């Protein structure tokens, strides 16, 4: 009886290899992601609970975490706005050099981030091309939070563009035309018809840009100045702890970052799955 049930279940599946595929997926995820993360937690716990609490309430740790998350958030927000505009221009208009710009978008993916950091520092330092223009007005970018945000905007740029672009390409022009025949102005159409359709993709892009920015190290350390309590990002603090052989300290900060990032990404994913359930696909 049981045997026939299983056999019939097996037969009824049109796409074969579910067991194998799931096995490979879980093994792979375990090796690449879960086991290293578990090691991280185990390592951070090795100093005992007191040590964990001491490091995680240390003002320097808190300042670094606050800096990392706020600058990443601001950078992701900026990327959200400008990424959407970039995607819009690339999808909706035809102009010479469009392909070139399209290719340039991916450069921050390909460039070693340290190179980006050095280039940005050279530009924005008080004696750099842009920095020397701003210095007389008392505006400093390099070695401030603004500098960190600019570096994070740079490395996060492709995420929003690349997640919005395909959705915008698929967006039916007829939906906008219908809105116009119903009397909606261009602004109303964008706000009430186009934007809601792009929202899930915008959220995805935002989440990716944010996650990338939180973990970014290479490009930031050059432009940040790295003064403790002020412009010292959490990933840098981890490296500093490691160099001091304070492994449990480093892993504790890492665990805190991990938990915070996980919660934020989870929230964004929940919003997305909620919107997908609601709108389905037409």
Q: Return the number of the residue (35 or 182) whose C-beta is nearest another protein.
A: 182
Query: Is 259 a binder of another protein (CB under 8 A)?
Result: no
Radius of gyration of the chain measured on its C-alpha atoms: 24
Query: Is 184 a binder of another protein (CB under 8 A)?
Result: yes
Residue from 2, 174, 227, 245 that binds another protein (CB under 8 A)? 174
Query: Is 181 a binder of another protein (CB under 8 A)?
Result: yes
Residue from 7, 33, 114, 182 that binds another protein (CB under 8 A)? 182
Query: Is 172 a binder of another protein (CB under 8 A)?
Result: yes
Query: Is 192 a binder of another protein (CB under 8 A)?
Result: yes
Query: What CA–CA distance (Å, rounded) separates 157 from 209?
Result: 7
Please count the residues of this chain forming the interface with another protein, following the rule CB under 8 A.
24
Q: Are 232 and 63 in contact (CB under 8 A)?
A: yes
Residue from 188, 229, 266, 274 that binds another protein (CB under 8 A)? 188
Query: Is 268 a binder of another protein (CB under 8 A)?
Result: no
Residue 196 Cβ, how far from another protein at the closest point, in Å? 4
Piece in contact with another protein (CB under 8 A), picked from 63-71, 78-86, 174-182, 227-235: 174-182
Query: Is 175 a binder of another protein (CB under 8 A)?
Result: yes
Query: What CA–CA distance (Å, rounded) separates 182 from 179?
Result: 5
DSSP summary character for residue 136: G
Q: Return the number of the residue (66 or 192) whose C-beta is nearest another protein.
A: 192
Distances from the Cα of 215 to the Cαs of 12, 251, 253, 261, in angstroms?
A: 44, 14, 12, 9
Query: Is 179 a binder of another protein (CB under 8 A)?
Result: yes
Residue from 21, 196, 229, 242 that binds another protein (CB under 8 A)? 196
Tokens of residue 122, six digits: 């050279």
Query: What CA–CA distance (Å, rounded) separates 135 from 127?
Result: 8
Residue 274 Cβ, how far from another protein at the closest point, in Å? 12
Piece in contact with another protein (CB under 8 A), picked from 66-74, 181-189, 218-226, 233-241: 181-189
Q: Are 205 and 163 in contact (CB under 8 A)?
A: yes
The DSSP line for 93-128 is ---TTHHHHHHHTTHHHHS-HHHHHHHHHHHHSTTS
Residue 161 Cβ, how far from another protein at the closest point, in Å? 22
Residues in the chain, overall count: 282
For the chain, give percent helix, strand, coil, nearest 5. 80, 0, 20
Piece in contact with another protein (CB under 8 A), picked from 85-93, 185-193, 251-259, 263-271: 185-193
Residue 282 Cβ, how far from another protein at the closest point, in Å? 4
Query: Is 111 a binder of another protein (CB under 8 A)?
Result: no
Tokens of residue 32, six digits: 């690449």
Distances from the Cα of 202 to the Cαs of 74, 140, 271, in angstroms?
A: 15, 31, 12
E runs forming strands in 81-221: none
Query: What CA–CA distance (Å, rounded) separates 20 from 134?
Result: 60
Q: Which residues bind another protein (CB under 8 A)?
A: 172, 174-175, 177-185, 188, 192-193, 196-197, 199, 275, 278-282
């Amino acid at each position: 009886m049981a045997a026939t049930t299983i056999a019939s279940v097996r037969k009824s599946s049109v796409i074969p290899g579910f067991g194998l595929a799931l096995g490979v997926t879980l093994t792979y995820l375990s090796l690449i992601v879960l086991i290293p993360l578990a090691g991280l937690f185990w390592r951070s716990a090795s100093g005992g609970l007191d040590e964990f609490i001491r490091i995680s309430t240390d003002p320097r740790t808190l300042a670094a975490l606050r800096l990392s998350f706020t600058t990443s958030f601001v950078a992701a927000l900026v990327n959200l706005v400008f990424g959407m505009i970039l995607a819009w221009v690339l999808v909706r208009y035809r102009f010479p050099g469009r392909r070139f710009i399209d290719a340039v978008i991916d450069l921050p993916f390909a460039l070693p981030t340290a190179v980006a950091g050095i280039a940005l520092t050279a530009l924005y330092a008080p004696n750099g091309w842009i920095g020397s223009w701003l210095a007389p007005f008392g505006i400093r970018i390099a070695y401030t939070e603004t500098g960190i945000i600019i570096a994070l905007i740079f490395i996060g740029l492709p995420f929003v563009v690349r997640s919005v672009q395909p959705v915008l390409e698929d967006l039916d022009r007829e939906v906008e035309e219908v809105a116009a025949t119903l009397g909606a102005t261009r602004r109303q159409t964008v706000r009430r018809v186009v934007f809601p359709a792009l929202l899930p993709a915008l959220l995805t892009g935002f989440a990716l840009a944010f996650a990338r920015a939180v973990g970014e190290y290479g490009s930031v350390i050059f432009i940040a100045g790295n003064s403790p309590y002020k412009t010292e990002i959490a990933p840098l603090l981890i490296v500093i702890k490691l160099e001091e052989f304070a492994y449990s300290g480093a892993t504790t900060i890492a665990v805190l970052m991990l938990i915070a990032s996980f919660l934020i990404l989870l929230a964004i994913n929940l919003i997305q799955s909620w919107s997908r359930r609601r709108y389905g696909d037409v």
